[in-house]
Amino acid sequence: MASIEINKLSKRYPHTEVYSLKDLTLQVEPGEVYGFLGANGAGKTTTIRTLLNFIQPTSGSARIMGKDIVHDSVTVKRCVGYLSGETALYAKVTAQQFFAYMARLQPAKQPDYLAQLVQQFAIDTTKPLETLSKGNRQKIGLVQALMHQPEVLILDEPTSGLDPLMQEEFFKVISDCKKRGVAVFLSSHNLAEAQRICDRVGIIKHGELIREQAIDSLDLLTKPTFRVTLTDHAAVKQLQTAVDLHFISQVDSNTVLVQPADTIAKALASLSHYSIKNLSTEKADLEEEFIEFYGDNT
């Protein structure tokens, strides 16, 4: 049995004609980390909020650990840990008071696991939450999602605001969860992060799942992107069909984004045939490249 089963799930908000989520179907198996990728407004958060039953689906259904997300919502939440994209916390209380409250609402399976997480994420539990930085608030949000050792983790932009050291700690925790058979469903903008921890990714655009694939096949996307400015705009057309280069998009009349079709050396060799005014590499960014790569072709 899949830990998360989503079947033709759709959501259309009242007074709107457009579907924020349309016929989404996917499954996440126990011990699998599923990255849900897409641009802002693509429908990632709507999917997560529907799974948590914060908003009602317009049609379709979803099951978590075999239970319906709408009709068995309370039972579902016994086995779910959730991190909101907003990391909303109570302002005036300390982390210690906050964790105690969360533990009263959902008792931990192993009481010392909370202490372990607090230590791992180096959380100061004595300061009022309103005085903490975004990164520290994010750590507290993560700990509250993990502290009761759920079978399913649903995390909206989990590494947002975390420094590299804490991101490492987060990856370790997710790796431990995976070993325990926890299914992790996380949304992200960060391709490197997805490649690092996900087994599979789904790409959502305009509320529809446009592609789903194992992380191994994402190599092309993780190759460097070259921003090439040519001296002659007439050469842009030739570059689009050049061997050893994968054309992504045209930025302006003289500038294009390309990726190596094979190796970087071959790509550079191919580029050497052109009169280039400027050449730079760009960071792989989902919003700009990933979606652009798939564009409307999918």
Partner 1 sequence: MRATLLWELSRRRSAIIWWTVGSVILSVFILALYPPIRNQAHQLNQVLNQLPQGLRELKTGGANSVNVADPVSFLNSQLFYATLPILWIILAITRGSAILGREEQSHTLELLLARPISRGRLLAAKALSLICECLIIGAITAAAIVILAPLFALHLATWRLLLATLYTLLFSLSFGLIAFSLQAASSLTRRLATAVTVLLSFGGYLLASLSGLTDWLKLPAKFAPYHYFTPDKILHGQNVAGLNLYLAGVFVLTVVVAYVGFRRRDIN
User: Cβ of 113: how many Cβ atoms within 10 Å?
Assistant: 15
Q: Which is nearer to partner 1, 48 or 248 (CB)?
A: 48
* Closest approach of partner 1 to the CB of residue 42, in Å: 19
Tokens of 54: 């914060």
Tell me how far apart the alpha carbons of residues 269 and 232 are, in angstroms, rounded to a whole number.
19
Q: Which is nearer to partner 1, 62 or 267 (CB)?
A: 62
* Closest approach of partner 1 to the CB of residue 101, in Å: 5
* Closest approach of partner 1 to the CB of residue 40, in Å: 17
Tell me how far apart the alpha carbons of residues 143 and 223 are, in angstroms, rounded to a whole number.
33
Where does this chain bind partner 1 (CB under 8 A)?
13, 49, 52-56, 73-75, 77-78, 80, 82, 84, 86, 88-90, 92-93, 101-102, 104-106, 144
Tell me how far apart the alpha carbons of residues 68 and 70 are, in angstroms, rounded to a whole number.
6
Tokens of 112: 């010392």
Tell me how far apart the alpha carbons of residues 280 and 227 are, in angstroms, rounded to a whole number.
5
* Closest approach of partner 1 to the CB of residue 53, in Å: 7
Q: Which is nearer to partner 1, 55 or 268 (CB)?
A: 55
* Closest approach of partner 1 to the CB of residue 79, in Å: 9
Q: Which is nearer to partner 1, 20 or 259 (CB)?
A: 20
Q: Which helix (H) or strand (E) holds 95?
A: helix 95-105
Tokens of 202: 């789904």
Q: Which is nearer to partner 1, 54 or 180 (CB)?
A: 54
